[in-house]
A and B are shown apart, each in its own frame.
Chain A
Amino acid sequence: MTQEIVAPLDGKVFQLKINPGDKVEEDEEILVIEAMKMETPIFVPCDGVVREVNVKEGEEVAENDVLAIIDEKHIEV
């Protein structure tokens, strides 16, 4: 299963905290979008591994752009 992380608003990538291959934990902050004088942090919805990062710091993004893709961690039984 993969999870697409999409931009909730138009803005600029202010901070990028992940690279492909990084392990991430549920609700971890992975990047920050600057818009309307405010910084909106983006959190991952699940544990997993970063498969793709589609943006760079300083890049403009539009609402609903896919910022990153996370491979959701499999739960081993």
Chain B
Amino acid sequence: MKPYFEKMTEFGNALKKGRIKSTEENLNSIKKIEEDVADEVNRVKLAGFPEEKINARGQMTVWQRLEYLVDPGTWCPLHTLYNPMNNAEGTTNVIDGIGKISGKWSVIIGFDNKVMAGAWLPGQSENILRVTDLSKRLNIPLVWLVNCSGAKLTEQEKFYANRRGAGTPFFRHAELEQMGIPVLAGIYGTNPAGGGYQSISPTILFAHKDCNIAVGGVGIVSGMAPKGEFNLEAAEEIIEKAKQFRAKPPGSVNIHYDETGFFRYVFEDETGVLDGLKDYMKDMPAYHPKFFRVTKPKEPRFPIEDLYRLIPLNPKRVYDFDEVLARLVDSSEHMEFRPDYGPEVYAGLCKINGFLVACIGNRQQYLGRNYPEYADYPGMGGKLYRQGLIKMNEFVTLCGRDRIPVIWLQDSSGLDVGDSAEKAELLGLAQGLVYSIQQTDVPMMLLLLRKGTASAHYLMGGPTANRHNAFTLGTAASEIYVMHGETAAVATYSRRLVKEKEAGRPLKPIIEKMNKLAREYHEKSRPLFCAKNGLVDEILPLCDLRKYLVAFTGAAYQNPKSICPQHHMILPRIIKG
């Protein structure tokens, strides 16, 4: 399909000096937020014991293990700031992301052994389930660095049980294995109870010589017979048993290598475990990229740093979406789908690292007096109208047919509203898009450039499409809310204002409440809030966006569950006409 893909239509323009002059403040404001995010990431990295203390014990930290394990330059961390239960530790205590090991994309996750020796914490199981979902969606191996001391017992009620509790990941590991997706585990340290299941549930176990895995650890076997209360005699008994089990914890290598054989390999050194994982990953089944590439990889024709001048931090400011996309895709080339229809939506085929991807985004500009065609008011980009919804329905469906991964680039204030919009069937077309996405079983990801608002956040590949959305990335400009805070304040208090006015009472108290609500909306939609609560999977510096697109695309094409031969694709032919 060389005539279609080798040279597509170039788009975008180099920034002129006037634009550079006008956008200095925007650049500095975005970089300031990115610095704040980086400070938070650093805080997570420094959580718990210092690296030196762990190293002095003869152990590597999870960060050191990851650095040794993952191919240089490929690590794309996710969920770094995720801490939905507001743990005092500032983390869910697992570190995860996508990266290459021995040249193969994999999802990688490890317990932070600096924090309570890798204990289960509130919010952790939800974090792990996001990771197992990611492995399932991309159909790529999951690699664990297990080092889990069990549960933080003083907060067990927050995570031990429930539908998505701490045991659910064991079922997810089994589900991945059912699907033919291997789960590899390098095992370090003491892993009792929950840590034992974290260790035993993967497919192949690579053990460090000093590790142990067990149904119950020292703490449990020291005091398993409740007597109703503790007294001095009981305390002495506990001390004696604890000493005995500490000297020889249950489930060590001599049991689970020599006796049960659960450990496939045992390694003398910490790095030996990681070398074992690397060696297995080398032999992991994966398509060579040449099988699916449509051309040689090429960088965009414009510097990615331009994004700091092209994406306005001000959510009300209009910008040129096409110029943004031109900084992200190979050679700044594309094949646009139906450019003369649904102008508020960009849909097109692009290339990332030589692979074909579908990109869908919100154009922002004024759409003219004659659009939308069903209304007597003009349209503004960022909103969705009838044609844009129809276009996305068609495009997504064809992507499913042609097996093309989809990258959504969202910045939407929502759907058009009012009776003319209702008559134009927007509600039905919107849910139709949900149906089209559900029908389209290909990996998708969302890059939330700026606003994720109203139902548009669901419809345009947001994380609520959680069978399809592999992950969602945010930027310093991202904000997510059901509606703008001021709109919400009006919706909440407008009747009350009328009532107070008619009763002759002062309006000031209501106005104060309205301002308070609007402020809360602002605070609870900021990038750090979104990352902490999992509304996005990571907040990225703009200059790192393409790196993640490369990771997503490479992973999506590594082990696809179905294939459309390039010469059988219909979408490029429809675009060409």
Using CB atoms and an 8 Å cutoff, list the residues of chain A in contact with chain B: 8-9, 24-29, 32, 34-41, 43-44, 47, 63
User: B380: nearest residue on chain A (CB-CB)?
Assistant: A36
**Is B317 an interface residue when CB atoms closer than 8 A count as contact?**
yes
Pick the residue among A9, A29, A37 that contacts B22 (CB under 8 A).
Answer: A29
Q: Is B19's CB under 8 angstroms from A27's CB? A: yes
Q: Which residues of A contact B314 (CB under 8 A)?
A: 39
Q: Which residues of B contact A41 (CB under 8 A)?
A: 22, 317-318
Q: Is B16's CB under 8 angstroms from A27's CB? A: yes
* Residue among A9, A35, A44 with max Cβ neighbours from chain B (10 Å): A9
Known pairs A36-B380, A37-B413; list 4 more (Cβ under 8 Å): A27-B18, A27-B19, A41-B318, A43-B18
Known contacts A37-B316, A39-B316, A41-B318; A8 and B366 CB within 8 A of each other? yes
* Residue among B22, B316, B369, B380 with max Cβ neighbours from chain A (10 Å): B22
Known contacts A9-B366, A40-B366; A26 and B17 CB within 8 A of each other? yes
**Is B249 an interface residue when CB atoms closer than 8 A count as contact?**
no
User: B19: nearest residue on chain A (CB-CB)?
Assistant: A27
Pick the residue among B18, B366, B378 that contacts A44 (CB under 8 A).
Answer: B18
Q: Is A28's CB under 8 angstroms from B19's CB? A: yes
Report 19 cross-chain contacts, Cβ distance below 8 Å, ordered by A residue: A9-B378, A25-B17, A27-B15, A27-B22, A28-B19, A28-B22, A29-B19, A32-B317, A34-B316, A35-B366, A36-B380, A37-B413, A38-B316, A38-B380, A39-B317, A40-B318, A41-B318, A43-B22, A44-B18
Name B1-32 residues within 8 Å CB distance of A. Answer: 15-19, 21-23
**Is B461 an interface residue when CB atoms closer than 8 A count as contact?**
no
B519 to chain A, nearest CB (A): 19
Q: Is A25's CB under 8 angstroms from B318's CB? A: no
User: A34: nearest residue on chain B (CB-CB)?
Assistant: B316
By DSSP majority rule, is chain B's interface helix, strand, loop, or mixed?
loop
Known contacts A36-B378, A40-B365, A40-B366; A26 and B16 CB within 8 A of each other? yes
A37 to B486, CA, bound (A): 12
Name B341-377 residues within 8 Å CB distance of A. Answer: 364-366, 369
A59 to chain B, nearest CB (A): 18
Interface size on B, residues (CB 8 A): 20
Q: Which residues of A contact B22 (CB under 8 A)?
A: 27-29, 41, 43
**Is B443 an interface residue when CB atoms closer than 8 A count as contact?**
no
A26 to B15, CA, bound (A): 10
Q: Is B316's CB under 8 angstroms from A25's CB? A: no
**Is B463 an interface residue when CB atoms closer than 8 A count as contact?**
no
Q: Which residues of A contact B378 (CB under 8 A)?
A: 9, 36
A47 to B365, CA, bound (A): 24
A28 to B16, CA, bound (A): 8
Using CB atoms and an 8 Å cutoff, list the residues of chain B in contact with chain A: 15-19, 21-23, 314, 316-318, 364-366, 369, 378, 380, 382, 413
A29 to B23, CA, bound (A): 9
A43 to B16, CA, bound (A): 11
A40 to B314, CA, bound (A): 11
* Residue among B23, B316, B369 with max Cβ neighbours from chain A (10 Å): B316
A63 to B366, CA, bound (A): 11
Q: Is A25's CB under 8 angstroms from B18's CB? A: yes
A28 to chain B, nearest CB (A): 3
A32 to B16, CA, bound (A): 19
User: B381: nearest residue on chain A (CB-CB)?
Assistant: A38
Q: Which residues of B contact A24 (CB under 8 A)?
A: 18
A34 to B311, CA, bound (A): 18
Q: Is A28's CB under 8 angstroms from B318's CB? A: no
A8 to chain B, nearest CB (A): 6
Q: Which residues of A contact B365 (CB under 8 A)?
A: 40
Q: Which residues of B contact A43 (CB under 8 A)?
A: 18-19, 22
A44 to B22, CA, bound (A): 11
* Residue among B314, B318, B378 with max Cβ neighbours from chain A (10 Å): B318
Q: Is A38's CB under 8 angstroms from B17's CB? A: no
A32 to B318, CA, bound (A): 10
A44 to B18, CA, bound (A): 8
| Shortest beta-carbon contacts, A-B, top 4 | A28-B18, A27-B16, A25-B18, A29-B22
B254 to chain A, nearest CB (A): 69
A40 to B365, CA, bound (A): 8
User: B377: nearest residue on chain A (CB-CB)?
Assistant: A36
A59 to B378, CA, bound (A): 20
B382 to chain A, nearest CB (A): 7
B417 to chain A, nearest CB (A): 13
Q: Which residues of B contact A29 (CB under 8 A)?
A: 18-19, 22-23
A7 to B541, CA, bound (A): 34
Q: Which residues of A contact B316 (CB under 8 A)?
A: 34, 37-39
A63 to chain B, nearest CB (A): 8
Q: Which residues of A contact B318 (CB under 8 A)?
A: 38-41
Q: Which residues of A contact B369 (CB under 8 A)?
A: 63
Q: Which residues of A contact B382 (CB under 8 A)?
A: 38
Pick the residue among B17, B317, B364, B413 that contacts A27 (CB under 8 A).
Answer: B17
Q: Which residues of B contact A36 (CB under 8 A)?
A: 366, 378, 380
A5 to chain B, nearest CB (A): 13
Q: Which residues of A contact B413 (CB under 8 A)?
A: 37
Q: Which residues of A contact B21 (CB under 8 A)?
A: 25, 28
Q: Which residues of B contact A27 (CB under 8 A)?
A: 15-19, 22
Q: Which residues of B contact A40 (CB under 8 A)?
A: 318, 365-366
A43 to B364, CA, bound (A): 16
A13 to B250, CA, bound (A): 75
A32 to B378, CA, bound (A): 18
User: A29: nearest residue on chain B (CB-CB)?
Assistant: B22
User: B13: nearest residue on chain A (CB-CB)?
Assistant: A27
Q: Which residues of B contact A8 (CB under 8 A)?
A: 366
A44 to B23, CA, bound (A): 14
User: A24: nearest residue on chain B (CB-CB)?
Assistant: B18
A63 to B378, CA, bound (A): 12
B316 to chain A, nearest CB (A): 5
* Residue among B16, B21, B314, B364 with max Cβ neighbours from chain A (10 Å): B16
